[in-house]
Amino acid sequence: MTEPEEIDRHQRQTLILGAASLVGVILVVIGTMLVAPMLNRFGFLHFPLGFYLAAQGLLIAIVVAAFLFVKHQDRLDLRREEGEETP
Amino acid sequence: MIRPTHLRIPNPHLGAYYGIITSAFVSLTIMLALFEQLGAARLWLAYGMLVLPLAIYVAIAAAAQTLDIEDYFASGRRVPPVFNGFVLATVATGGTGYFAYTGTTFLLGFDALAIGLAWAVGLFAATVLFMPFLRKSGAYTLPSFLGHRFRSRTVRIMASVLLVPPTAMLLVAELKAASVVAALFLPFSEGVALITIAVVIAAIALFGGMRSVTWSSSAGFIIGAIGIAVPLIIVAVLVTNLPAPQLTYGETFPSLQNLESILGLGPAQPMPFGEALPVAQPSPSAKPFLQAFGLVGPIDMVALFLCLVLGTASLPSLLTRSGVTPTTSDQRRSGGWAVLFVSLFAMTAPALAAFAKILMLQDLAQPGASAPGWLAQLNATGLGFVRDANGDGAIGGSELFVARDAIALVLPMAANLPFVCTLLMAAGGMGVAIAAASNHLFTIGGSVAEDIIRIVNRSGALPRLTIAWVTIGAVGIAACVFLMFADIDLLRAAIAAFAFAGATFFPVLVLAIWWRRCTQFGAMVAMGTGFAVMVLDAFFGGLSGSGPLQAPIAALIGASLSAAAGVAGSLFGPGLQSAEESYFEDLRDPAGEAIYDRAQRRITAPSS
């Protein structure tokens, strides 16, 4: 693959990965906050589910999303470097 | 072909150094706890627990002293991701989070959780959108990145001027948090405590700039983490028999709901955001802990969440730290660590609030019992009281008035823990507040020196570091003088600062990093529009909660208008320069040396 194509592909994939991770996390957090009163009917680890998700569950999900993002973006960057290295 | 990367090796002994600092602090705590059991005076315990850590922070800063420009402004680009994560998390939450967020969670319960979630998502957004690219740029300050990106001194100066209001608000909030705690336990007036804390913060920022701020703040983070974790774990063991407060406080909810019901804390109705947000003065808990959207309605909660996400993601004090790690990948990783550490704190705060509430309500609900000891201590310090408003001879849940920012300190008292545990909580909060304040101080002082004075006065008569020392000292004095004459509410000041930062910088940074077509004219109108909306909101009382538009909503409107103005200004204003495009291309390449370092090397190469 030629260098400009590799760069374009890297930028496109970076944009998709970043936008998908961020928009996904924000929508999940807002959606969960809004339906928390309904989720509170269910229990989880002695917590009402809606409260648990807002106080802990979503935070755990955000941490997982952040480290997954870091791992995938590193992989994309490495692929671009290898592509640029190959003549 | 892979471009050569400038390898920067972190100090391999950092783990040992911070292991020693942690051990020293733990030993100090144990020693003071022993002295307390032997009958030592509380005043001497307070000196030991609050003043010795100050000496540790200053000693670390002095050991990290430097006259090297790259060390002073970017910590030599050798900070490992975990340590940068420590400092990022500390700056995002600060003493404001430590004291005001825990208290807000105590008073609002579920309705306050948007704040903790917003810190985590905001740091994640900064990790995705900005930090790695700012690391590639290598600019020492946020305004200098914008100046380089748009090849414009005007953009750089404008960004530096607009950076001052939000960062200064956070600086004075952190200074106040630390000095109030110091004045509470030590025999000094608040003014003397303020000057002492300001001198410590200024010393940390002056000795070695970003380098000393980084290493001192890392110690602040560790002491903050120990300070909140140890008393809370002890309380969790006492109440639930398990040393995992975040996992076990749910067990207390049936008792908590029962107590709230006995003490007459019925469901509340949503209020306007400005009224729902608790004030710093002692106020009653007006809703059950678990009730969702009791005082803060769903729209206000989502607006607060989004406003704080934008503000955290584009907070200048956080983004100024984007040049300190060895590579772009490390910078991204440090963002991941920061999300983890902030999330741990955000999970801990509701546990602390729930334990504090159940312990306090248990004491109030005991019929015929004498006034609990913690209430006498609160009365003595002016941090809380009870008032039998309905004259029924009993104290109801809404008749207990507690200062919002004192809840973290009340928990060890309410659990009848030794006084050292209260001091430990206070030392942790002070450590975090001092760490955050030194970052804010360096951000303002460094930016004014680099982006205004050095740009306006290009004769180069004064050495670069001398300008930075003078501006950092001047900003420290100005913050001190401001706090001597004005009072601020930590929570409201922090929300206003995040709102200003989000409306002013978030749109322009997204456009600068993610849109090739963005021009310097677009950047200027974007920043100007967002800032103008917030100034208008402040003028009409939105920041204090009395205006027609609350700060979070105003920030979202400001950010939307700012983005629209930036796009329109770029499309219809003066055209794009080729230099702006080539900088953009360089910025988007994750490999290779920082753009700024490469330019510096080219400048200095012929003379060497």
Contact B302 A40 (CB under 8 A): no
Q: Which residues pair with B400 in a beta bridge?
A: B386
Q: What is the pTM of this model?
A: 0.94
pLDDT at B276: 86
Contact of B253 with chain A, judged by CB distance below 8 Å, is answered with: yes
Measured at the alpha carbon of residue B284, what is the angle toward residues B185 and B391, in degrees to the nearest 5?
A: 115
SS3 A86: coil
φ, ψ (nearest 5 deg) of residue B428 = -60, -45
Q: pLDDT tens, B39-61?
A: 999 999 999 999 999 999 999 99
Between the CA atoms of B265, B241, B350 and B197, what dihedral angle is there, to the nearest 10 degrees?
A: 120
Which of A13, A40, A51, A68 should we substitute to test contact with B (largest number of B Cβ atoms within 10 Å)?
A51
User: What is the sign, positive or negative, of the torsion defined by CA atoms of B577, B581, B584, B586?
Assistant: negative
Average pLDDT over residues B220-245: 94
Give the gap in angstroms from C-alpha A7 to the nearest C-alpha of chain B: 8
Chain B residues whose CB is inside 8 A of the A69 CB are 124, 127-128, 336
Of B128, B298, B329, the CB nearest to A18: B128
C-alpha distances in Å from residue B200, one per residue of A41, B54, B288, B503: 50, 7, 41, 32
> Which tokens is B558 given?
């400001």
Write out the two tokens for B399: 């008749």
Task: Say how far apart CA B417 and CA B34 lie, in whole Å.
Answer: 13
pLDDT > 80? residue B119: yes
CA B424, B428, B429, B433 torsion-angle sign: positive
What SS3 state is found at B271? strand
Does residue B547 belong to the interface with chain A, where contact is any CB pair within 8 Å?
Answer: no
Q: Which two tokens stand for residue B408?
A: 């973290």
Spell out the domain ranges in chain B. 14-489
Helix pair B153-185, B419-447: axis angle to 10 deg: 160
Closest CA to B146 of B557, B592, B522: B522
CB B311 within 8 A of CB B555: yes
Query: Which of residues 124 through 163 in chain B touch A, CB cutoff 8 A?
Result: 124-125, 127-129, 132
B591 touches chain A (CB under 8 A): yes
A23-41 per-position pLDDT tens digit: 999 999 999 999 999 999 9
The domain limits of chain A are 3-81
How large is the average pLDDT for residues B268-293? Answer: 87
Residues of chain A positioned with their CB less than 8 A from the CB of B506: none
Nearest to A59 among B117, B251, B302 (CB): B117
Which among A34, A40, A63 has the least Cβ separation from residue B340? Answer: A63
Specify the DSSP class assigned to residue B288.
Answer: -
CA B494 to chain CA centroid, Å, is 8
- Chain B residue numbers touching A7 (CB-CB < 8 A): 589
B78: confidence class by pLDDT, cuts 50, 70, 90: very high
Query: Would you state the pLDDT for residue B425?
Result: 96
- Is the pLDDT score of B547 beyond 80? no
Instruction: Tell me whether residues A56 and B347 touch, CB distance under 8 A.
Output: yes
Q: Is A81 within 8 Å of chain B by CB?
A: yes
Q: Please tell me which residue of chain A has the smallest CA distance to B117.
A: A59
Residue B228, pLDDT score: 95
Determine the Cα–Cα distance for residues B173 and B429; give it in Å rounded to an integer: 13
Residues of chain A neighbouring B268 (CB-CB closer than 8 A): none
CB contact under 8 A, B591 and A54: no
Q: What is the DSSP letter of B399?
A: G
pLDDT over threshold 60, residue B5: no
Question: How confident is the model over A55-78, as a mean pLDDT?
Answer: 94
In 3D space, the residue among B184, B100, B196, B185 whose CA is nearest the CA of residue B489 turns out to be: B100
Mean pLDDT of all residues in chain B?
90
Side chain identity at residue B141, one-letter code:
T
- Chain B nearest CA to A20, separation (Å): 10
Per-residue pLDDT, B4: 42
Cα–chain-centroid distance for residue A35? Answer: 21
How do residues B327-370 score in pLDDT, each as one tens digit? 999 999 999 999 999 999 999 999 999 999 999 988 888 766 67
Location of structure tokens 């029924």: B392
What's the CA gap between B493 and B498, in Å, rounded?
A: 9
Candidates B514, B122, B215; CA nearest to B523 is B514
> CATH top-level class for B14-489?
mainly alpha
For residue B7, pLDDT beyond 60 = no
Mean pLDDT across the stretch B223-245?
Answer: 94
* Strand-pair partners of A48: A43
